[in-house]
Homo-oligomer: A and B are copies of this chain.
């Protein structure tokens, strides 16, 4: 029973804005229209704000509610970026701003999954997504995938994933570059996933939080750029990684406008819209992205070198994102797993336990190599080597 292109009942029951039908007339009226329908104040905040006065002057509505789909200038800038770099056939109307990729994934899970629906989750994966599926009443079906591709680059992906699909499968959740494994899927690999998704009439959730974060000259391909895929894919991006601004809580979805209008009803009921000011602040960084983002990716590649070259524990060298993810079962030296995590903390290094990323990874740990300066990263790797590698 394929769900695509239907949304969940909980989404369908939500009313859209009553103003939708009045919008053409409201636009026509222009500046003459006195807007008494919104609960907002016309005055700017009367207290000191650490915001550039020229910026405030250029954005006089910075403190007010915005279009819940996003600020027009930012949607336009992102549409240009997504069309040029990700090669999706988007106009600004095919872009919706969200409160981080987190919010985009939540409204997608709530909007696509009916209670009892299965979603094929390729693992290891970002832990919170598993909770989001459960919140929506959905059932996670885990397919160990990304780490396996390091071992078996020629895996017959379609045949392998086919086994996990049942009549209840409504969607597939893909994440490349992958957090935590660092795997970056090649175009032929994505084609195999795309074929499967089309053949089984699934929705595709493409989590591209690490868009632009690839190493050794690899290219990130957006699966929605493949033939027939834009029409069934929600492509999800964030300002938290390559933009280095997790503290802004801003992300976006690129997808056909008629999907976004539906998902927007869910967002409006969760948080109304992301911050107007945050969105206005990101217009220039999107437009100037070419001028600054390569340096950061290059720096992350150097950090990967420090971590990967010096860590004396077997692992696959990540192709993208900014994590190492590896099993530690061979290095426990008689201690149990959680004792060892605790020992890492004792030595002054916090690591993320692998079981959060999928049930096949309970022997793994994840470390992020971009969150601390090179010096401190080096200290941490030495501490980990002392715990894991010294006696093995």
State the A residues within 8 Å of B (CB): 10, 13-15, 18-19, 22, 25-26, 29, 32-52, 54-55, 61-66, 99-100, 102-103, 106, 110, 128, 131-132, 134-135, 137, 179, 240-241, 243-250, 265-266, 268-278, 281, 284-285, 288, 292, 295-296, 299-300, 322-323, 341-342, 345-346, 348-353, 356, 366-373, 376-377, 379-380, 383
Expressed in whole angstroms, the Cα–Cα distance for A348 and B46 within the complex equals 29
**Contact across chains for A44 and B380 when beta carbons are under 8 A apart:** no
Residues of B within 8 A of A371 (CB): 35-36, 38-42
> Of B25, B106, B367, B380, which is within 8 A of A342 by CB?
B25
Residues A350 and B41 in contact in the complex (CB < 8 Å), given A46-B244, A65-B247, A249-B271 = no
11 residue pairs bridging A and B, Cβ less than 8 Å apart: A14-B134, A22-B341, A36-B368, A36-B377, A37-B368, A38-B371, A39-B371, A40-B370, A47-B285, A103-B270, A277-B278
Residue of B nearest to A352 (CB): B37
Residues of B within 8 A of A48 (CB): 284-285
> Of B44, B103, B372, B383, which is within 8 A of A35 by CB?
B372
**Contact across chains for A372 and B36 when beta carbons are under 8 A apart:** yes
Residues of B within 8 A of A99 (CB): 99, 249, 270-271
**Contact across chains for A15 and B51 when beta carbons are under 8 A apart:** no
> Shortest Cβ distance from A356 into chain B, in angstroms?
6
> Of B34, B248, B288, which is within 8 A of A372 by CB?
B34
> Shortest Cβ distance from A321 into chain B, in angstroms?
8
Expressed in whole angstroms, the Cα–Cα distance for A99 and B251 within the complex equals 14
> Of B35, B44, B50, which is within 8 A of A244 by CB?
B44
Residues A243 and B45 in contact in the complex (CB < 8 Å), given A52-B52, A376-B34 = yes
Residue of B nearest to A209 (CB): B39
> Of B34, B39, B265, B276, which is within 8 A of A322 by CB?
B39
**Contact across chains for A33 and B345 when beta carbons are under 8 A apart:** yes
**Contact across chains for A296 and B46 when beta carbons are under 8 A apart:** yes
Residues A348 and B106 in contact in the complex (CB < 8 Å), given A42-B371, A46-B296, A65-B246 = no
**Contact across chains for A55 and B65 when beta carbons are under 8 A apart:** no
**Contact across chains for B345 and A26 when beta carbons are under 8 A apart:** yes
**Contact across chains for B43 and A353 when beta carbons are under 8 A apart:** no
Expressed in whole angstroms, the Cα–Cα distance for A29 and B275 within the complex equals 35
Residues of B within 8 A of A366 (CB): 37
Residues of B within 8 A of A134 (CB): 10, 13-14
> Of B51, B66, B356, which is within 8 A of A18 by CB?
B356
Expressed in whole angstroms, the Cα–Cα distance for A264 and B128 within the complex equals 13
**Contact across chains for A367 and B36 when beta carbons are under 8 A apart:** yes
Of listed A244, A349, A373, residue having the most chain B CB within 10 A: A244
